[in-house]
Amino acid sequence: MWAFRGHTPVVRVAPQRRKVSFYGTLNLATGEEVTLRAEKLNAATTVTHLQQLLERWPAQPLLLLWDRAPWHSGAELRAFRAAHPELEIMRLPVAAPELNPQEHVWKATRRAISHNHVQRDLATLADRFEQHLREHTFASTLLDDLDYPRLCARFK
């Protein structure tokens, strides 16, 4: 931070450590983002988000690419997955965020909404973040990189 010589700058910091979490799933074919705002990320939040996905795409199987986040496990989640065989989970390698298309969505949204922007109110910032996720599509090259059309043709 720049300041005049002899004048110590004052940096105001909120005394509480409030935060807002988001759960998100990127449809690799359309670029559509399905998002859920949550107080915390845990197995219960994951189940709620999975229900959201099943409501959004009720008549088709879903393949989810998951990182190794701790909220992607737990008894409640195992029971939900057992009851919904249309959900298939493929785990991404450890410490490979570059392979996770959702990480690119978070990065793009942070860049658009919170980087180098002044927003003092967390609720307003969270609203803007969620609005950006809902109103934009996000390109991913993962399907092209995997030669998705040819891959699908092999499994028909």
pLDDT at residue 80 in the model: 97
* Domain contains 75: yes
Kindly report the CATH number assigned to the domain that includes residue 40. 3.30.420.10
How many folded domains does the chain comprise? 1
Q: What is the largest CA-CA distance in the chain?
A: 73
* Domain contains 114: no
* Domain contains 10: no
* Domain contains 54: yes
- Show Cβ contacts of residue 154 under 8 Å, excluding neighbours closer than 6 positions: none
pLDDT at residue 149 in the model: 72
* Domain contains 28: yes
* Domain contains 65: yes
pLDDT at residue 71 in the model: 94
Domain range spanning residue 43? 21-106+134-154
The SS3 of residue 13 is coil
d(CA 30, CA 143): 11
pLDDT at residue 114 in the model: 87
Model confidence pTM above 0.85: no
* Domain contains 14: no
d(CA 130, CA 153): 36
Tens digit of pLDDT per residue, the chain (156 long)? 677 888 887 777 666 778 899 999 999 989 999 999 999 999 999 999 999 999 999 989 999 999 999 999 999 999 999 999 999 999 988 888 888 999 999 999 999 998 877 777 889 999 999 999 999 999 988 878 877 776 566 555
